[in-house]
Amino acid sequence: MTETAQPPYPAAEFGDGTTDPPTIPLPPVPADGAPGGPSDGPSGGPSDGSSHGPSHGPSNGLSGLETRDLTAWFGQRKVLERVSLQMRAGEITALIGPSGCGKSTYLRILNRMHEMVRGAALAGEVLLDGEDVYATGRRPAEVRRRIGMVFQRPNPFPAMSLYDNVISGLKLAGIKASRDERDHLVESSLRQAGLWDEVSNRLGTPGGALSGGQQQRLCIARSLAVSPEILLMDEPCSALDPTSTRRIEETIAELRHRLTIVIVTHNMQQAQRVSQSCAFFLASHDTPGRIVEAGPTERLFTSPADPRTADYVNGRFG
């Protein structure tokens, strides 16, 4: 099972051809069995500099996310083991795998939601632009503002108006804005989330009055309003009908150029449709979740290196 820590694909296959050398010295690699060098394994392989230097990387100032040897526990139970993955700036990374494989836990670790669960613990690093989000003294609220999240069940503030829902993040994060700025922000966020045309004439109605799909897009708009660098989506369409799902997928595709997206999905077709990179998680009853294989979505679906990946993406289990 060593391939879980060092997935069996070469670095060149994962990257999109950018060959910039790392521009920021990498933090020391953990000594215990981590990938040996920057060109070996998922943490080193794709780290060709694109995520470490947003200002001078190839990705138009967008931020990337990376985890190194991430292990997570709930109490005594280990749910994730040594997950190293690069989520490239400006890309949509899909996390796939059967239920209970730890992908939602992984996602919640990325923006420090994991630690709010009682008994939750973790080891390893989550690097946002090369800086550990779990560094001592770093506030979770600041991390969460930069790494937004959309949940499985739409969770707008039901009694709050649509307008206030969109700008709620500003108030919560203590960001001041003038009336004009807020008006502008509400419109642009709702437009980006693909909801503006449907609600522009009733911004005063409460968030709870929308349909499920609209609520979810409202939640996306709400997340976008605080201009996060990363957007995490935890099965954002699993509670929605196919039409709403399609609208959300269109929204996600349009957002790709504005921020980096990591999406957990159970839907193979969705992963194929929206993502550029893909990571396949797998756990069994006695082993914690690990990444079996990660790489460009197309390759993972057409010529997976691991037979288990092939079985899963072809619907033979899970």
CB-wise, 255 or 313, nearer to other proteins? 255
Give yes or no for residue 260 binding other proteins (CB under 8 A): no
Q: How far is the CB of 115 from other proteins (least distance, A)?
A: 11
CB-wise, 90 or 228, nearer to other proteins? 228
Nearest to 5 by CA among 98, 71, 54: 71
Give yes or no for residue 316 binding other proteins (CB under 8 A): no
Burial profile 10-45: b = 16 or more Cβ within 10 angstroms, e = fewer: ebeebbeeeeeebeeeeeebbeeebbeebeebbbbb
CB-wise, 152 or 276, nearer to other proteins? 152
Give yes or no for residue 202 binding other proteins (CB under 8 A): no
What are the E-state strand segments in the chain?
65-74, 77-87, 92-96, 120-128, 131-132, 147-150, 230-234, 260-264, 277-284, 287-296
CA separation, residue 184 to residues 163, 175, 191, 196 (Å): 11, 15, 11, 12
Q: How far is the CB of 209 from other proteins (least distance, A)?
A: 13
CB-wise, 12 or 159, nearer to other proteins? 159
Ramachandran region, residue 126 (left: φ > 0; alpha: ψ -120 to 50; beta: rest): beta
Q: How far is the CB of 23 from other proteins (least distance, A)?
A: 28
For residue 296, what are the contacts with CB-CB under 8 A and spacing of at least 6?
13, 14, 16, 276, 277, 278
CB-wise, 139 or 179, nearer to other proteins? 139
Binding other proteins by CB under 8 A: which of 10, 27, 75, 158? 158
Stretch that binds other proteins, among 23-31, 88-96, 97-105, 112-120 (CB under 8 A): 112-120
Q: How far is the CB of 126 from other proteins (least distance, A)?
A: 15
Residues 206-225 that bind other proteins (CB under 8 A): 219, 222-223
Binding other proteins by CB under 8 A: which of 149, 162, 283, 300? 149
- In the complex, the residues that contact other proteins under the rule CB under 8 A are 111, 113, 116, 118, 140-142, 144-146, 148-149, 151, 153, 155-160, 168-169, 171-174, 219, 222-223, 226
